[in-house]
Each structure stands twice: as C-alpha cells, then as structure tokens.
Amino acid sequence: MIERIRVAPPCPKCGSKETYDIIPELEDDHNVQIDESLLIGLEEYSLGNACYACIACGHKWKKFRGRRPYLDLESFKAYVGGFHGPCYTIGIDFRTGELTWDSEPDSYYEIDVLQNREERVLTESELDWLREGLYKCDVLNWADNYQMFAIMDGTQWNVILDGEAYHEVKQGSNHFPKQWNRFCKLMEKVSTRSFR
C-alpha cells in the first residue's frame, strides 16, 4: 500500500499553489505526475520527494539549496543491511568529529560471530571533505522513502541528518537514490570500512 506523503510548497517564483513534488520514476509531464493512480503500475517508486514543480509557470526547485545547509549539519547516521545481514551503521557527530562504525554479522549463515566496532575522530578538513561529499550526493534532497513493490527482504537502508533547522529521515527498501553508489563509496572512504 502506498502511504501518501505528497507535499509541495507554493511556487517561490509566481506564488501559485498549483505545485507538486516530482516523482522521478514517472514521466516528466504535469498530467502524469499528478495522477497518483499511476504509482500502482510502478515496480519502484519514491515518495516525499524534495524536488518540486509549478504547474502555473513551469518553475522547478529543490527543498534545500546549495552548500549552506550542510554547514549546519550537527549529526549524521547511516545504516545499510540485508534481511539476513550483514548490517553496517555509521554515526558522525559533526560538532566533535567523532565517527563510529558498527557491523553486525550475517545472522542467517552465522558467519563472523564477532560484532565489529571502529571509532575515530575526524579532523576539521576531513569533516569539510565529508560535507562536500554529502552535498555532491545531494543527500538532503533525497526523497523520504524509496520502495519496491511486493518485496520485503533484500537490502534496507536509512540516512538521518540533523541540522540546526532540520531533521531529515531518508529510507528505502530495495530501491535507492541515483547517487547511492557514490554515497556508499563516500561512507567507505570516511570510515575505512565496508558500507554496502
């Protein structure tokens, strides 16, 4: 069942309230985009998208603009895991630079019974590099929810970003933002451990 989380603010250019959040899995056409019955026909879909369009004037815009919101990042958490494992969690406190990486073993096959934990403190320049990487992945503008119909196991993930003026939760099941691989590489580089 599709939970309806379609919210779009008024157009910043013309003030019209005839706006919608762009669902990237649907054709880029006003009539198609606002027809929610078409979502049923999709194998993969995303909801709570952070890119909007105005029907009145055609303007398109994103919820978060530029690098500025990333400078306000206070804490960050990312998780990826499968139904049978392994699972990885990365937490970063941008105020102290503390990074933790945790892994849970593959419970189904019972490979690697030891849990793993890695802790390190990131330098200011590493934190700047990470903010830039998150900005390039456009993480704050990811949709709230990426889903694939009818599949419950497979890969689950979530990313939580807390800033001075926002609390963003992104999650998915077997469906991913287009920058997902780039994001996983960033997580692996910053933690020096696995994340995918």
Which spans of this chain sit near Zn ion (rule: CB under 5 A)? Answer: 11, 13-14, 16, 54, 56-57, 59
Torsion of CA 128, 133, 134, 137, to 10 degrees: 160
Minimum CB separation of residue 188 from Zn ion in Å reads 41
**H or E stretch covering 139:** none
Looking at the Cβ atoms of 13 and 167, the one nearer to Zn ion is: 13
Looking at the Cβ atoms of 5 and 14, the one nearer to Zn ion is: 14
What are the residues facing 61 on neighbouring strands?
52
Going by C-alpha positions, the residue among 97, 96, 77 that lies closest to residue 167 is: 77
Looking at the Cβ atoms of 28 and 118, the one nearer to Zn ion is: 28
Residue 136 C-beta-side C-alpha neighbours within 13 Å? 12
Minimum CB separation of residue 11 from Zn ion in Å reads 3
Minimum CB separation of residue 92 from Zn ion in Å reads 37
CA 52 – CA 76 distance, rounded (Å): 25
Looking at the Cβ atoms of 31 and 37, the one nearer to Zn ion is: 31
Going by C-alpha positions, the residue among 160, 188, 162, 190 that lies closest to residue 88 is: 188
Minimum CB separation of residue 68 from Zn ion in Å reads 23
Looking at the Cβ atoms of 14 and 121, the one nearer to Zn ion is: 14
Minimum CB separation of residue 24 from Zn ion in Å reads 20
